């Protein structure tokens, strides 16, 4: 499907990533110089083909008094990696687990902790799952990069102007 994406599709994806909740098909159509029905049809196709899989909120965890967003980089034996990932998802505070291919440092775990005591409890729970913690990285600040689709949005606008 990725080779089938044109600049309008990429522009829609960028706009949805930027603010899916507050962006209407009419607003997207105006920015992309296409009709609102084209935008709705394209979104439907992107959903049906699995390119667009959902719409999630951006959460500022510090406002929820959960200030410690931490990434654990761990190593699990290749034969136990899948099992380790499933077990890690059960640990309280785990937000996301990424299973990587090959070698050491083959699992990245994002966790949310209320304080350092809570982070220590999470660390202990991870240790108990027979994985080796290679490093722990506490996030100081989280920022979002402009999407790769922003270029497509600009390109779609230029095509509409010509």
Is 102 in contact with 145 (CB distance < 8 Å)? no
Q: What is the mean pLDDT of the chain?
A: 86
DSSP labels, 48-63: HTTS---------GGG
Q: Work out whether the CA dihedral 121, 90, 106, 13 comes out positive or negative.
A: negative
Among residues of the chain, what percentage have pLDDT more than 70?
Answer: 83
Query: CA angle, corner 84, sides to 131 and 60, nearest 5?
Result: 90
Q: Delineate the domains of the chain, giving CATH numbers in brackets.
A: 2-56 (1.10.10.10), 61-138 (3.30.70.920)
Q: Kindly state the average pLDDT of the residues 130-141.
A: 90
The Cα 58–Cα 68 span in angstroms is: 16
Rounded Cα distance between 91 and 73, Å, is 15
pLDDT at 159 over 80: no
Q: Which pLDDT does position 155 carry in this prediction?
A: 66
CB-based contact 41:15 (threshold 8 Å): no
Q: Residues near 20 by Cβ (< 8 Å), separated by ≥ 6?
A: 55
Phi first, then psi, for residue 35 (nearest 5°) are -80, 155
The pLDDT confidence band at residue 46, using thresholds 50, 70 and 90, is very high
């Amino acid at each position: 499907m990725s080779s089938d994406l044109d600049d309008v599709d990429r522009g829609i994806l960028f706009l949805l990533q930027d603010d899916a909740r507050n962006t209407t098909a009419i607003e997207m159509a105006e920015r992309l110089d296409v009709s609102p029905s084209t935008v709705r049809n394209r979104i439907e196709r992107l959903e049906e083909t699995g390119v667009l899989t959902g719409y999630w909120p951006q959460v500022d965890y510090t406002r929820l008094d959960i200030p410690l967003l931490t990434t654990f980089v761990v190593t699990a034996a290749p034969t136990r990696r899948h099992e380790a990932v499933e077990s890690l998802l059960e640990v309280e505070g785990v937000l996301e687990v990424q299973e990587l291919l090959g070698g050491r440092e083959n699992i990245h775990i994002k966790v949310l902790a209320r304080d350092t005591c809570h982070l220590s409890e999470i660390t202990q729970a991870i240790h108990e799952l027979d994985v080796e913690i290679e490093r722990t990285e506490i996030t100081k600040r989280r920022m979002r990069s402009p999407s790769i689709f922003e270029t497509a949005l600009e390109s779609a606008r230029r095509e509409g102007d010509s």
